[in-house]
Amino acid sequence: MKAEFDKELIKKYDRPGPRYTSYPPATEFTEEVGRREYVMKLTESNERKTPLSLYFHIPFCEQRCLYCGCNVIISHRRGIEEPYLERVKKEMSLVSRFINKDRKVVQLHWGGGTPNYLSPAQIKEFFNSIREHFDIDPSAEISIELDPRYLTDEQIEAIKEAGFNRVSLGVQDLNPKVQEAVGRIQPYELVKEKMEKLRSAGFDSINVDLIYGLPYQSAESFKETLEKIVELSPDRVATYSFAYIPQIKPHQQLLPKDALPSAEEKLRILETIINTFQSAGYVYIGMDHFAKPEDELAKAQQKGELWRNFQGYTTKKGVELLGFGATSIGMLYDSYFQNYKTLREYNTSLDKNEIPVFRGYIMTPDDLIRREVIMDIMCNLGVDFNKIEKTFNINFKEYFSRELEELAGMEKDGLIKILPGAIKILPPGRLLIRNVAMVFDAHLRKKKELRFSRTI
């Protein structure tokens, strides 16, 4: 299904809301759920015998990009990564003792920060220590985020040799003026050279990340970036809307505020992104991804098997995610756990031989039902009532009578179609799936009601 771009509808419905990389979102996590509950849930998870997905956070970067919204540690001083890696290994040994050895890892991801901050020797050595703690399935998806500016031939070789089969390159925008304004200079020629090297190294899939809403971007300028990206022919593209939050990320104050595109221009850019990738034959995935039709993501969306996690869209529904490293988040069937965000707290916890989890969330039966519905909307563009009824033993129309009533307005506007046994997202609703999902978010509703009663 192709997306239809209806500016008036987008304006009408556009409002801030969760991105639903989890439900409930991380804002609901609480420090009342910590390492004791994590151990209990890890142990419980063995009974389900589910395969595992592992996430490793490498928080270091050489230089700060002014748009960055991540928790990163900027350092040119080499050597800080070594003690960190030692602590992550310790975390693996503390956590893996609660995991049955017969559980296979089917997905593994290194994110950051900049994972290629590590030297080739560190990459290989750290990967080997993961293998010492976990059994990685030979067909596992093993991916790494890379910064093309610092990527060396030796690192590419080490990444391949370690076992990675997918890579993701941070490109953001190829326009020199935009790059200068955001403090991230990486000419097109450099990106092209690294892409070619990665291709000839034989990685199964190359993803490119782009950001729209940066200073000096316009629909026309970004179109040039998009055309160059299409020429480079990545297997997947992820596009993110830039969030300007200088009050939370003070370094964003250094961005030229007056050069930020207006809301209207941002919409034009988004329209250009969608039209360019769709015309180039890419399938529009979920909310913000594009993939070649033969890519696993496109196939999973078509089969209704796509899922969403903290790293974006994934084909691995039903796996349990263990997060390692500062700030990382894990998800067991009905619970989420997050590690300390600062290096100091993360280190202190591990130095006391404690699992560095500082907060989490244990889902209620209602959360589990709503998560399934929200993920189906966000990933598979519709909800099959029968599937939800069978999985959770409920009557969909009775359980969600209030939500179905609320959706009538969206149906009238042509965003969705409510059928006797399903909700289907229609092409004009394609860009507003988050708004449809928000109707089923009980936590958001509670907050709205609280705010409302306070106003009264």
Which CB, 288 or 441, lies closer to ligand SF4?
A: 288
Q: With contact defined as beta carbons under 8 Å apart, do 89 and 131 qualify?
A: no
346: Cα separation from own chain's centroid: 22
Looking at residue 260, its amino acid is L
Give dist(CA 446, CA 183) in Å, integer.
Answer: 41
Dist. CA 423–CA 436, nearest whole Å: 10
- Counting contacts by CB under 6 A, is residue 113 touching ligand SF4? yes
User: Which listed residue (42, 52, 58, 68) binds ligand SF4 by CB under 6 A?
Assistant: 68
- 314 phi-psi bin (left φ>0, alpha ψ -120 to 50, beta other): beta
Residue 70 or 259: the one with the smaller Cβ distance to ligand SF4 is 70
Residues 293, 296, 297, 303, CA torsion sign: positive
Q: Which stretch binds ligand SF4 (CB under 6 A): 43-51, 59-67, 371-379, 434-442?
A: 59-67
C-alpha 100/C-alpha 452 separation (Å) is 48
Distance between CA atoms of 124 and 70, rounded to whole angstroms?
A: 25
The DSSP output letter for 172 is: E
Size of the site for ligand SF4 (CB under 6 A): 11
Check residue 295 and give left, alpha or beta (phi > 0: left; psi -120 to 50: alpha): beta
User: Shortest distance, CB of residue 67 to ligand SF4, whole angstroms?
Assistant: 7
Instruction: Closer to ligand SF4 by CB, 170 or 215: give it.
Output: 170
Provide the mask over 308-337, with x wherever binding to ligand SF4 is found by CB under 6 A and - wherever it is not: ------------------------------
- Closer to ligand SF4 by CB, 182 or 425: give it: 182
From candidates 18, 112, 234, 330, binder to ligand SF4 by CB under 6 A: 112
252 is an interface residue for ligand SF4 by CB under 6 A: no
Task: Give the shortest CB-319-to-ligand SF4 separation in angstroms.
Answer: 25
Cβ contact 203:160 at 8 Å = yes
Binds ligand SF4 (CB under 6 A): choice among 3, 61, 357, 381 = 61
How far apart (Å, rounded) are the C-alpha atoms in residues 123 and 155?
A: 8
**Binding of ligand SF4 by 111 (CB under 6 A):** no
Nearest C-alpha neighbor of 147 from the set 74, 77, 220, 88: 74
Q: How near is the Cβ of 64 to ligand SF4 at its closest, in Å?
A: 5
Binding mask 71-110 for ligand SF4 (x = CB under 6 A): -x--------------------------------------
Is the Cβ–Cβ distance between 286 and 297 less than 8 Å? Answer: no
Q: Which of 115, 170, 215, 360 binds ligand SF4 (CB under 6 A)?
A: 170
Which of 147, 235, 367, 441 touches ligand SF4 by CB under 6 A?
147
In sequence order, the 6+-apart residues with CB closer than 8 A to the CB of 393 are none
User: Rg of the chain's alpha carbons, rounded to an integer?
Assistant: 22
Closer by beta carbon to ligand SF4, 179 or else 205: 179
Nearest distance, CB of residue 169 and ligand SF4, angstroms: 11
Binding footprint of ligand SF4 on the chain (CB under 6 A): 61, 64-65, 68, 70, 72, 112-114, 147, 170
